[in-house]
């Protein structure tokens, strides 16, 4: 029994929206995914900079997430958090704005950071008050310069750093199985939205954590 008690908890699920979605379709799809899985947080990651579009999307997604007691954060748009009644912000440019976001949003807001493949940047974000740090993509790829967050970094972070770590980007069944013991969250987005059945796709990924 003692050995079982020492087993790490299963990572939590962190859902990332597509960069573009239709407001008359996506909220219902999101609701189905949330109803089928224990999602801890949703990130609205729209590519648009149009505040009116962001506001309409934020209102629609907040209705879905908060009805299910799921936190909703927005990518980068710090002023939109309080305006839309969201739970926090995800900063995609590393540690630079963490202190500012915390000052603007207060101690109770979620402030998360994407640190790509930089251990130093992740540590700086944690020291500045980030609630979580994302690393990724998690495997070889043709994006940008092709760099990726290596397994050793996740293992080191899990062993040494208390700030929760999130694995994000190009997750597949093999990587989820491998990273399950060394990450606190899996941020899942295109991995399910680019399939015909996102609910079934999520179930398959969740099964890989067992």
User: Is the pLDDT at 5 greater than 70, yes or no?
Assistant: no
Whether omega for the bond prior to residue 137 falls within 30 degrees of 0, making it cis, is yes
CATH number, residue 93: 3.20.20.70
Instruction: Give the model confidence (pLDDT) of 94-104 as tens digits.
Output: 888 999 999 99
Q: How far apart are CA 40 and CA 34, in angstroms?
A: 9
Residue 5 lies in a domain: no
| Domain residue limits at 31 | 12-207
Q: Is 141 exposed, middle or buried (0-12, 13-18, 19+ CB in 10 A)?
A: middle
Give CA–CA dist 74/199, Å, rounded.
22
pLDDT of residue 8: 56
Evaluate whether residue 57 is within a structural domain: yes
Stretch 33-48: mean pLDDT: 97
Q: How many domains is the chain built from?
A: 1
- 4 pLDDT above the threshold of 60: no
The pLDDT tens digits of the residues spanning 101-153 come to 999 999 999 999 999 999 999 999 999 999 999 999 999 887 778 899 999 99
């Amino acid at each position: 029994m003692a050995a079982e008690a020492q087993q790490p908890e299963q990572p939590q699920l962190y859902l990332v929206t597509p960069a573009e979605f239709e407001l008359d379709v996506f909220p219902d799809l999101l609701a189905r995914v949330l109803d089928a899985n224990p999602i801890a947080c949703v990130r609205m990651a729209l590519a648009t900079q149009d505040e009116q579009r962001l506001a309409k999307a934020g209102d629609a997604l907040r209705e879905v997430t908060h009805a299910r007691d799921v936190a909703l954060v927005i990518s980068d748009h710090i002023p939109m958090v309080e305006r839309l009644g969201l739970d926090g912000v995800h900063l995609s440019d590393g540690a630079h704005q963490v202190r500012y976001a915390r000052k603007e949003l207060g101690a109770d807001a979620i402030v998360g950071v994407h640190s790509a493949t930089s251990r130093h940047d992740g540590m700086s974000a944690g020291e500045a008050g980030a609630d979580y740090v994302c690393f990724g993509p998690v495997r070889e790829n043709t994006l940008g310069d092709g760099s990726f967050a290596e397994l050793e970094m996740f293992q080191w972070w899990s062993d040494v750093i208390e700030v929760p770590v999130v694995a994000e980007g190009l997750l597949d069944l093999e990587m989820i199985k491998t990273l399950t013991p060394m990450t606190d969250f899996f941020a899942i987005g295109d991995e399910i939205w680019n399939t015909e059945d996102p609910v079934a796709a999520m179930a398959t990924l969740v099964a890989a954590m067992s």
